[in-house]
Structures are given as structure tokens and as C-alpha cells.
Amino acid sequence: MTDSVRIGSRGSELALWQARWVRDKLVELHPGLVVEIQIIKTKGDKVLDAPLSKIGDKGLFTREIEHALLQGSIDLAVHSLKDLPTELPEGLVLGAVTEREDVRDVFLPRPGTRVRRLVDLPQGAAVATGSLRRKCQLLHLRPDLRIVDLRGNLNTRYAKLEASGWEGMLLARAGVVRLGWAERIGEAIDPLVILPAVGQGALGIEVRNEDARVLKLIGGFHHTATAEATGAERALLHELEGGCQVPIGTYGRIVTDQTGKPVLMLDALVGSLDGTRVIRDAISGSPEASSVLGAALARRLLGLGAQQILDQIRTPSE
């Protein structure tokens, strides 16, 4: 009998690129394996007329896919790791984390505009993003900017940009490059200037925790250094109890110290929605202690004032 697996994926062009990449790698690793892709619409895909921060919290782009996985109609799910909540449903596990692509955010200027960098934008320029994390950090850097909320898949967003009077928009470089849009990038922003989202640039492969067959099939995808770096980021997010509605940025990476020993470095911030207040700190230590480091940095941020920011954001306005 031919061995086969079914991949669950969102239907956007980027999500399907990611699912096909996993499919092709699976076939390369396991010749003869038959791999199907099943498209599943999530709440985040269906509700496009409201900001992410207004339509819910965790699992906006994963819940329906996870349900299919638990029901057995698919065998594995491919997610952008930044979309995957830190708490998974009982019975599911993050089976593999792929090697991380470039973590940076990028500025895509509107076609025909001459300005290529954020620093050169005129006073009061309009910049589009659907991310509160980006909005917070942009306004912290440039309080004069006008931030426009932008939803939809990447093709939809770019079409809106072309038809707009905005100067440009911010996206994750990994997705832009995966779609073949590298030439549209005006500026790739230093990840320590605008901290990325948790897990940005990596894919997470979610499976049933007792499915030994599929866990073995995806073993070749797992990248330890990426898993350690993003594990610290996810532990930080879990400790902060963050989600789409909270401006949290973080950047974990493995570097080598003077003795040649690997060290995990983690930067993170929590900011107010208007960018006027940003609480930021960093920590470093052994990559094997990534989760401990992430949680410790989160507690430090809370003690420095992030708790007040988070309480204010989560308290409904009168």
C-alpha cells in the first residue's frame, strides 16, 4: 500500500507556498510518499473587514486547521510559526520547526514613489500595516506618521497599496521573498530597530502527539537552533499572555561567544498602542535554557512597567 499524508493549510498564496514547500521536501526525503494538500478556511481568513485586534485573540489562523487535525481529516498542519498560539490543543504537538528565514520586516513603497526608507518619509506620511506590533514601533520611531490598518492576504494588500495615496506598507521579509517580490522591497529594517513577531520567518509543523509515523516523517525538517531561538520567544509570549491585540516584539538568535560557545540572545519589548511608551530589555544564556530565558525576560519586562501597559490595553475603554 502506498504511504500517504495529508497537509492542512490556509488558502492564501503564501500559505500554499509554504504547504507546497513542505510537500516537496517530504517527497524528497521520502521517495514514493504521496502528499495531498487540503485547504481549510480559518476565522482570520473569513473576517477581513475588521482589524485583527478586534475579531478575537489566539488561534485566528489555526483553530479550524487544528480541529481537522484532531478529527483525523489531515495528518499535519503547516503554519507560519508566528500565527501558532503558545498553547496547543490537547492531543497536538509542535512536531518540527523549520530553519528560519530572514526575520526582518521590510518597507514596500507604493509603486512610483521615490522614497525607499522609513527615515526619508515626509512628515505625516501614511504607512499601512495590520500589525499592532509594527504600528507601535513605527510610531515610537516616527510619531508624525499616520498608520493605516490593512488586512487581507499579501496580494490583496499590495493591490490596495497600488490604489492608495499611502507612502508604503510594512510586511515580513520572509513572506515577501517567498512570493518572489524581493524587487519590491525598499528597505529591510534592522531587527533590533523594529523587533519582529514571535517566530517570524519560521514554519511550525503541527501533528497529533501520538502519531509516531508522521512525527518520524517530519523529523528531517527540525532545525535545532531555530527551535531554541523561537522557543525563547514563545516562552516570553506565553508568560506575557500576549496575542494579536498586544504590541509585543522579540528577537531570539544563537550567536557564538569569544570561546566559540553558542549563546542565545533575546531582545523583547512591550509597547503602548500609540508608541509613546515602550518597555524594552534583553537577556542571554544557554540555548538549552531557551524557555527559562524567555519567561525570565518576560517577568523582567512586566516589572519594568509592561504590566501597566498590558492592563491598560486589555481593559475595555468606556
Locate the domains of the chain by residue range.
4-100+202-222, 105-188, 230-314
Mean pLDDT of 97-124: 95
Distance between CA atoms of 23 and 3, rounded to whole angstroms?
14
Mean pLDDT of 302-313: 94
Tell me, yes or no, if the two domains 4-100+202-222 and 105-188 fold the same way: yes
C-alpha cell at 273: 498602542
Quickly list DSSP for 44-95: HHH--SS-GGGS-STTTTTHHHHHHHHHTS-SEEEEEGGGS-SSPPTTEEEE
Catalytic: 83?
Answer: yes
What phi and psi values does residue 152 have, to the nearest 5 degrees? Answer: 110, 170
Angle between helices 154-162 and 13-29 (to 10 degrees): 140
Point out the catalytic residue in the list 45, 75, 83, 267. 83
Mean pLDDT of 130-159: 93
**pLDDT at position 199, please?**
97
Mean pLDDT of 152-163: 91
**How does strand 4-9 pair with strand 168-172?**
unpaired
C-alpha cell at 292: 527559562
Examine the pLDDT at 38 and tell me if it is beyond 50. Answer: yes
**pLDDT at position 153, please?**
84
Mean pLDDT of 293-304: 98
**pLDDT at position 300, please?**
98
Examine the pLDDT at 60 and tell me if it is beyond 70. Answer: no
Q: Domain 230-314 has what CATH class?
A: alpha beta
**pLDDT at position 304, please?**
97
**pLDDT at position 51, please?**
53
Distance between CA atoms of 186 and 109, rounded to whole angstroms?
6
**pLDDT at position 55, please?**
45
| Global confidence as pTM | 0.91
Distance between CA atoms of 191 and 251, rounded to whole angstroms?
7
C-alpha cell at 315: 481593559
**pLDDT at position 241, please?**
85
pLDDT tens digits for range 180-210 = 999 999 999 999 999 999 999 999 999 999 9
Biggest CA pair distance of the chain: 65
Written as one letter, the residue type at 147 is I
- For residue 188, what are the β-bridge partners? 106
Per-residue confidence band for 44, with pLDDT thresholds at 50, 70 and 90: low
Q: Which stretch of 23-27, 112-116, 266-270, 281-285 has the lowest confidence by average pLDDT?
A: 112-116
Tally Cβ neighbours within 10 Å of residue 230.
29
Examine the pLDDT at 43 and tell me if it is beyond 70. Answer: no
Examine the pLDDT at 318 and tell me if it is beyond 50. Answer: no
Mean pLDDT of 247-252: 97
Q: Do residues 125 and 145 make contact, with C-beta atoms less than 8 angstroms apart?
A: yes
Using DSSP, state whether 257 is helix, strand or coil.
coil
pLDDT tens digits for range 204-243 = 999 999 999 999 999 999 999 999 999 999 999 999 986 6
Residues 4-100+202-222: name the CATH superfamily.
Answer: Periplasmic binding protein-like II (3.40.190.10)
Per-residue confidence band for 57, with pLDDT thresholds at 50, 70 and 90: low
Q: Which region, left, alpha or beta, applies to residue 56 given φ > 0 means left and ψ of -120 to 50 means alpha?
A: left
CATH of domain 105-188: 3.40.190.10
Per-residue confidence band for 1, with pLDDT thresholds at 50, 70 and 90: very low
